[in-house]
Structure 1
Amino acid sequence: MNELDLNYPPSYYAASANVHPEYPQLAGDIDCDVCIIGAGYTGLSTALHLLERGVDVVILEQARLGWGASGRNGGQIVNSYSRDIDIIERTAGKRIADQLGAMAFEGGRIIRELVARYSIQCDLKDGGVFAALNHKQMAELEHQKALWERYGYDKLELLDGNGIGGVVASKRYVGGMLDHGGGHMHPLNLALGEAEAVRKLGGQIFERSAAIAIAREEQPIVVTKGGSVRAKTLVIAGNAYLGGLVPELKAKSMPCGTQMIATEPLSDDLAKALIPQDYCIEDCNYLLDYYRLSGDKRLLYGGGVVYGARDPQDIERLVRPKMLKTFPQLDAVRIEYRWTGNFLMTLSRLPQVGMLDDNILYSQGCSGHGVTYTHLAGRLLSERILGNSNRFEAFATLKHYPFPGGHLFQAPFSAIGAWYYSMRDRLGI
C-alpha cells in the first residue's frame, strides 16, 4: 500500500470531519495488556469497553482511524443482523437464535451511550425507515415486526401507503416500517469521537502503522514497519482491510465494495419536502438503496455492490440514476462528492467471531450490517478478555464455510446469486 492510499478517501465525511489530531506512527517496541489491529468501530468499541475497566490498550491502524468502512458507510443505525433472527434459528437452532436475538438491538444502544458519555458531536438523529417497493416486501416487514417483538423490541410502527408518503417524498413505495430505535449519524465523526475518548482514557492509537506480521508466541507480538507490540491478548479487527495478514480468516470471507454520492446542500424547503422527519431510509431489496440527509442538508445516497471490492471508475454513473429513480425532482441538483468503500461479506451473511489461539481473538464479516454489530462486537470481545465468554461463544458457535470455487470464483458466483435475487426483487416474487 503506498502513501497516497493511507489518506482519507475524497468523501463528504472526510471533507466535513471534525477537527482532530493525527496520531503518531509506532516507533520502537512496546508492551501492553491488549493490542488491537484496526481502528474502526470494532477496534474502538473494544478499546473503550476495556479501558473503562482499567485495561492497558494499544490500537494499530494501517492508515487513519476510521479510514475503512467505519468512516465511509451510510451512517445508518440499523438493528439486528444481515440475516435476521428467524434465519439464525433455522440454521443454528433456537438456543443460539435466542441468545443472538437478545443482543440484536444492543449495538444501537451502545452507540447512543458512547455519544452521550463522551459528548461525541456526530449529528446523531433518531428514526429509520424500511421502505417496501411491493406488497411482498410489505408482508415481509409485517413478519419482521412480529419477529422483533418476540424478542422484546417495541419501537416499530408499520406505515401504509399514506404513512410512507408522509416520511419520504417518493412514489416508489407501497408502505414501510418505521424503527423509532433506528437512526443515523456522521460515521467518521463518530469514529473520531470514540478515538478521542480512547485517548482520554489512556489508550494509545498508532496510525500509519500497518501490522505486517504476527508472531504467535506465548504473548503474541505484532510487527510493524517501525516497531512491535507485545500483548497478553491480541484482537484482530481489520475486517475488509485485513488483507492476507491472517490466511485462515481470509478463506471464508470476501471484501465487497459499495458506493455513495452526496449532493450539493439542498434548500431548507427542498430538504424538508424530501424527508420531512429527517429519518434515514433503506428499501427492502436484496441489493438495497439507502439514503438520508446530512447535517448540512445534503442528500447522501448509496446503493449497489461490487463483488471482490474493485473500485468502479464512475461512481456517479452507477448511483445517480438510482437517486433520480427515487427522487426525480433532484434532476438539476449537482453531485459534489462520490466515494466507495469495502465491507466484508461471509457466505452465511453472519459475523465471524472466534479465537485463533487462547489469546488471539477476532471479529469480522458484518456483511453490510456493521454499524451496530461492530459496537456490540467490541463489548463481546471485551467481555471475553475480562473472563465472561458466554455471549462471545454464542457468536463463535456459528458455522462458516468457504465460498464455492475459492477466491478465484467467489466474486462471480456471488454476483450470479445477487443477480438472481435482484430479479426476484424486480418481479416481486
Structure 2
Amino acid sequence: MTSHIASYYAATANPFPLRNSLEGSIETDVCVIGAGYTGLSTALHLSERGYRVVVLEAAKVGWGASGRNGGQIVNGYSRDLENIAWRYGNAAAKALGAMSLEGGDIIRERIEKYGIACDYRPTNVFAAFNAKQLRELAHVRDHWAGFGHDGLELLDREGLRRQVKADCYVGGLIDHRGGHIHPLNLALGEAAAVESLGGRIFEQSPVIGVRTEGGKAVVATATGEVRATFAVACGNAYLNGVIPFLEDKVMPVSTQVVTTEVLGEATIRDLFPTLTAVEDANYVLDYYRPTADHRILFGGGIVYGGDEPADIEARLRPHFAKVFPALRNVRFDYLWSGNFALTLTRIPHLGRIGNNLYFAHGCSGHGVTSTHLAGRLIAEAIDGDATRFDAFANLPYVPFPGGRALRVPLTVLGAWWYGLRDRLGI
C-alpha cells in the first residue's frame, strides 16, 4: 500500500478514512483520474451540479504535489499577463486575466462552505533582492490593475520588514488576496466534501489505460474498470504514461521542502509580524512561511526531470541561512521532495482528446490556485458551456524541443541563463 511521504504535512494531517481500491466494473457520469487538487476540484464542482462522479487515485488523496507543496495561494499564472498578451494576443490576456484571481477565491469558498480546517491565513509577499526586481514588481502591480486586481501594494525596505524580518531584500509586493494553507488538509477536506455529495473515491487504484468503447470512456485499473460518459485526466506530473499523447507536453520538475523544529510563537511573531507567506522574485525562487505550530516551512531548489537530490538539506540550508542567518543552525525536522509539471509556455495546458476525454496539467509552479480554477472550467465544459475552458484549450501548446532526450538539458541551460541574470541584477 502506498502511503503519503514522510512530510510535515503527513505528520500533521487531519484524520481521514481508509478508502477501498476499485474492484469490478462500475458505471458513472464522469470518471476523474487523480485525487489531487485538479481532480478533487473537478469532482466537487460536478457533484455540486448533480453529476455522478468516481475518482480513481493511484495512491492516497493528496499524495502528489497537492499534498507536498509550499502551501501558498499565489494568484495568476507562471507567466504574467503582459507576457501572455505578447505571446497570444490581447484577447487571450483579457480572457485569462479575468480568471486569474478565481482559483484563490474558490479555495476560500471551499474552506467556508465545507468547514475545512487547513490553517488558512491571508496574504502573501513577493520579495525583491535588488532594484531591478523591485521595478519589475512595480510593473506587475500596475499591469494587474488593468485587470481589476487592486489588492497589490508595493513595499519599500521598511515596509517589507513589517512583513518579514529579513535584511536581504530591498522591498517587495504584497498581495492582499493571496494567502497560505496546510495543503494536504485542504485536499483531504475537499475529498470529504466530494463524498458528502455522493461522489466515490477509490484509492490504491492506479489507472493502466483509457479507451473509448460504445461511445463511453472506459478507464481501466488492474482490478476493475469505470465506464463513464466523460473521463478527466488529472494526474499532472504523476500520470506516468497512461495517456501517451500528453507525455511530451509537460516535464516533471522536483522541488524540495524542509520544515524547522518548533521555534515558538514569540520567535515566529518576531520574524513574521503578520504571519504572511513569502516567495522571492528570482527566476529559480525560494518560498517560505510560518506554520500553525510555529515552525518555518522553507522550499526551493528545483531539479528538471523530477529526480530527487541526494541531500535535500545541503541544497536548501544555504538559502535558508541567507534569509534567516540567526537560525542558520536550526534543526530541520522534516525534509521531502515532490514533482510538479512544467509546460514549455509555463501556462496550464487544458484540452480534450476526442469527444469525451478532458485533461488539465502543467500549472508550472502555480498549481494551488490554477488547479482549482481548472476544475471549475472542466465542470463548466462538461455541463455544456466550454467558453472559458476553451480560452485555455485553444491556446497553441507545443512539446518540449528535442523530445525526452533533450528537454532537460535545454531547460537547464535556459534556467542557468535566467539565474545568472538574477545573480548579476540585470
TM-score when scaled to structure 1? Answer: 0.98
> Does 2:382 align with 1:376?
no
3-state SS of 2:249 partner: coil
Identify the residue that residue 356 of structure 2 maps to in structure 1: 359
Of 8, 11, 15 in structure 2, the residue corresponding to residue 12 of structure 1 is 8
1:107-126 → structure 2 map (5 Å cutoff): 107-126=103-122
Identify the residue that residue 266 of structure 2 maps to in structure 1: 269
Q: Select between 396-405 and 90-99 the one with higher mean Cα deviation.
A: 396-405
Of 251, 270, 276 in structure 2, the residue corresponding to residue 279 of structure 1 is 276
One-letter code aligned to 2:320: M
Distance 2:161 2:295 in 1: 20
**Is the 2:73–2:368 contact (alpha carbons within 8 Å) kept by the matching residues of 1?**
yes
What is the CA distance between 1:402 and its match in structure 2? Answer: 1.5
Distance 2:329 2:141 in 1: 38
* Residue-pair matches, total: 425
What is the CA distance between 1:251 and its match in structure 2? Answer: 1.3
Identify the residue that residue 346 of structure 2 maps to in structure 1: 349
> Does 2:204 align with 1:212?
no
- What residue ranges of structure 1 are gaps of 5+ in the alignment? none
One-letter code aligned to 1:235: V
One-letter code aligned to 1:392: F
Q: Deviations over 1:145-198 (max 9, x none)?
A: 011110011111110011011111111100001111000000000000000001
Identify the residue that residue 91 of structure 2 maps to in structure 1: 95
Q: Deviations over 1:339-384 (max 9, x none)?
A: 0000000110011110001111000000111000000000000000
What is the CA distance between 1:95 and its match in structure 2? Answer: 0.7
Q: Tell me which stretches of 4 or more aligned residues in structure 1 moved more than 2 Å.
A: none
Distance 1:411 1:395 in 2: 25
What is the CA distance between 1:216 and its match in structure 2? Answer: 2.1
Distance 2:201 2:98 in 1: 32
3-state SS of 2:216 partner: coil
Of 251, 257, 260 in structure 2, the residue corresponding to residue 254 of structure 1 is 251
One-letter code aligned to 1:40: G
3-state SS of 1:26 partner: coil
Of 59, 63, 67 in structure 2, the residue corresponding to residue 71 of structure 1 is 67
- What residue ranges of structure 2 are gaps of 5+ in the alignment? none
Identify the residue that residue 46 of structure 2 maps to in structure 1: 50
What is the CA distance between 1:332 and its match in structure 2? Answer: 3.2
Distance 1:216 1:339 in 2: 38
TM-score when scaled to structure 2? Answer: 0.99
3-state SS of 1:366 partner: coil
Identify the residue that residue 391 of structure 1 maps to in structure 2: 388
RMSD over aligned Cα, in angstroms?
A: 0.7
Distance 2:329 2:353 in 1: 53
> Does 2:415 align with 1:418?
yes
Distance 1:230 1:301 in 2: 43
Of 147, 156, 161 in structure 1, the residue corresponding to residue 143 of structure 2 is 147
3-state SS of 1:99 partner: helix
One-letter code aligned to 1:316: E
Q: Select between 402-411 and 184-193 the one with higher mean Cα deviation.
A: 402-411
Q: Deviations over 1:57-79 (max 9, x none)?
A: 00000000100000000000000
**Is the 2:260–2:333 contact (alpha carbons within 8 Å) kept by the matching residues of 1?**
yes
One-letter code aligned to 2:222: K
Q: Deviations over 1:226-273 (max 9, x none)?
A: 100000000000000001111110112100000000000112211111
> Does 2:402 align with 1:405?
yes
One-letter code aligned to 1:178: I
One-letter code aligned to 1:414: T
Of 122, 128, 132 in structure 1, the residue corresponding to residue 128 of structure 2 is 132
Distance 1:52 1:346 in 2: 30
What is the CA distance between 1:313 and its match in structure 2? Answer: 1.5
